[in-house]
Amino acid sequence: MSAPFDRPLLAESDAVGPGPFDAVSAQAGDEERVVESALRPHSLADFIGQPKVARQLDLVLEGAKRRGRPPDHVLLSGPPGLGKTSLALIIGSELGTAVKITSGPAIERSGDLAAMLSNLGPGDVLFIDEIHRIARPAEELLYMAMEDFRVDVVVGKGPGATAIPLEINPFTLVGATTRAGLLTGPLRDRFGFVGQMEFYEPAELQLVLARSAALLGVELTEAGSAEIAGRSRGTPRIANRLLRRVRDYAEVKADGRVTRQVAEAALALYDVDHLGLDRLDRAVLEALVMRFGGGPVGVATLAVAVGEEPHTVEEVCEPFLVRAGLLARTPRGRVATEAAWRHLGQPVPRGGIPLGSVTAVPQVPGTSAEPLFDA
Ligand SMILES: Nc1ncnc2c1ncn2[C@@H]1O[C@H](COP(=O)(O)OP(=O)(O)OP(=O)(O)O)[C@@H](O)[C@H]1O
Ligand SMILES: [Mg+2]
């Protein structure tokens, strides 16, 4: 039997799998993964933004180090590209322990998980990405492992099968999920610390960009970084990706320096608008507004209309569209807000939008329909 850790690990790229509409991520793939790992922060001090999660996690880790015991199990949740995997790896390096990585969909049988757990060294970190996709029998095995550091290994089949309890080394489970709502109650309750990752402020993204530009050897002006940050949908992965595309443009069409003009021209070329919406985001909004009269419409129908998987629309596009105040999720379906009609240059329908709570949608700074930065 091959060691369970040999299977293809990180589902990172799966979560944001380049959609047919995303001109920027269509060029991603292997290069993306290599650069992404080169740009990952390696310590909490290096990790930009998420002040609440970072401070709380710092305390959890410091407390555990002082007690000489592995910290509580950690669940990190939030949309793709906000730094969950980065934080999981940082937890390992802050604790000075090994991080074994797998993902929910890769654990098909509970035996795979049992083998992984019994291979953990004392204090190791087990990182399970996309933990909400773990198979149910494996999840049940995980309960006991998390609580008692014990697994039941079933020997034999049928009525003669017996469960032999096996001690495992104390470890810390770090789970990451883009869909905390899909986690079962019993699993969620077994995490001692839950970090909810938030979208980044433009100023924080500028820090991410400055750090990445230095690592990539790109000359980036303040105004250039502001332009990219404002179009990065509050997401470091997107900021880094746009930086690389803008760098290409700067090298080929200009003198290599990323100024505001260069960033603007490059991002226009890549169909990234001034709010940071790419072609898929715009296609979703356009379908909602133009084909379904602003909604309400179910996410499955919306996904068919844009030729994408419902989960891509739900996990990749919608969180930001909601936070940007362009789309609302209602019990009857998705509804375009007034801002969405205006953003697409469409007259807002008379009689208003069929939703009273749209104005209550939280706004992320820098995601209003106004221009984000002064020229
Ligand atoms: N706080 C941060 N500071 C600097 N760079 C960051 C930060 N967070 C994320 N990044 C950058 O963004 C990239 C994506 O982050 P990461 O892979 O950790 O996201 P994720 O939340 O795990 O996404 P997914 O849900 O798709 O797995 C990283 O490679 C890193 O370069
Ligand atoms: Mg990840």
- Structural domain boundaries enclosing 297: 277-375
Is the domain of 62 the same as that of 132?
A: yes
16 lines ligand 1 (CB under 6 A): yes
Is the domain of 54 the same as that of 178?
A: yes
Is the domain of 184 the same as that of 238?
A: no
Which is catalytic among the residues 85, 235, 259, 367? Answer: 85
The tens place of each residue's pLDDT in the chain, 375 residues long, gives: 444 443 333 333 333 333 334 444 444 567 777 888 889 999 999 999 999 999 999 999 999 999 999 999 999 999 999 999 999 999 999 999 999 999 999 998 888 899 999 999 999 999 999 999 999 989 999 999 999 999 988 888 888 888 888 999 999 999 999 988 889 999 999 999 999 999 999 999 999 999 999 999 999 999 999 999 999 999 999 999 999 999 999 999 989 999 999 999 999 999 898 899 988 999 999 999 999 999 899 999 999 999 999 988 998 889 889 989 999 999 999 999 999 999 999 988 876 665 544 443 343 333 333 332 322
259 is a catalytic site residue: no
- Global confidence as pTM: 0.82
For residue 350, being part of any structural domain is answered with yes
- 152 contacts: CB under 8 Å, gap ≥ 6: 141, 144, 163, 164, 165, 166
Which is catalytic among the residues 102, 172, 178, 312? Answer: 178
Distance 244 CA to ligand 2 centre (A): 20
41 lines ligand 1 (CB under 6 A): yes
124 is a catalytic site residue: no
Is the domain of 217 the same as that of 138?
A: no
Question: Which ligand is closest in space to the CA of residue 76?
Answer: 1
- What is d(CA 126, CA 171) in angstroms, rounded to the nearest whole number? 7
81 lines ligand 1 (CB under 6 A): yes
CATH number at residue 211: 1.10.8.60
Which of 250, 269, 288 is the last residue in one of the domains? 269
- Phi, psi angle pair for 16, to nearest 5°: -120, 20
β-pairing, 74-77 vs 150-155, is unpaired
- Could you give the angle at the alpha carbon of 362 between the alpha carbons of 359 and 365, nearest 5°? 115
For residue 14, being part of any structural domain is answered with no
For residue 211, being part of any structural domain is answered with yes
For residue 3, being part of any structural domain is answered with no
Is the domain of 249 the same as that of 318?
A: no
Residue ranges for the known binding site are 39-40, 81, 84-86, 147-149, 190, 200, 237, 329, 334
Is the domain of 152 the same as that of 131?
A: yes
Q: Work out the widest C-alpha separation in the chain, in whole angstroms.
A: 75
Which of 236, 269, 302 is the last residue in one of the domains? 269
237 is a catalytic site residue: yes
Which of 196, 211, 227 is the last residue in one of the domains? 196
- What is d(CA 246, CA 260) in angstroms, rounded to the nearest whole number? 10
Which residue, by CA, sits nearest to atom 15 of ligand 1?
Answer: 83
Is the domain of 83 the same as that of 41?
A: yes
For residue 261, being part of any structural domain is answered with yes
Is the domain of 192 the same as that of 248?
A: no
- Token pair for residue 345? 């240059």
48 lines ligand 1 (CB under 6 A): yes
Question: Which ligand is closest in space to the CA of residue 81?
Answer: 1
CATH number at residue 103: 3.40.50.300
84 is a catalytic site residue: yes
Is the domain of 365 the same as that of 255?
A: no
Is the domain of 340 the same as that of 224?
A: no
Domain count within the chain: 3
Closest by CA position to 201, among listed 354, 51, 68, 22: 51
For residue 17, being part of any structural domain is answered with no
Query: What's the chain's average pLDDT?
Result: 85
For residue 13, being part of any structural domain is answered with no
Which residue, by CA, sits nearest to atom 28 of ligand 1?
Answer: 40
Which is catalytic among the residues 133, 231, 233, 237? Answer: 237
| Ligand 1 atom at minimal distance to the Cα of residue 16 | 26
CATH number at residue 284: 1.10.10.10
Is the domain of 84 the same as that of 220?
A: no
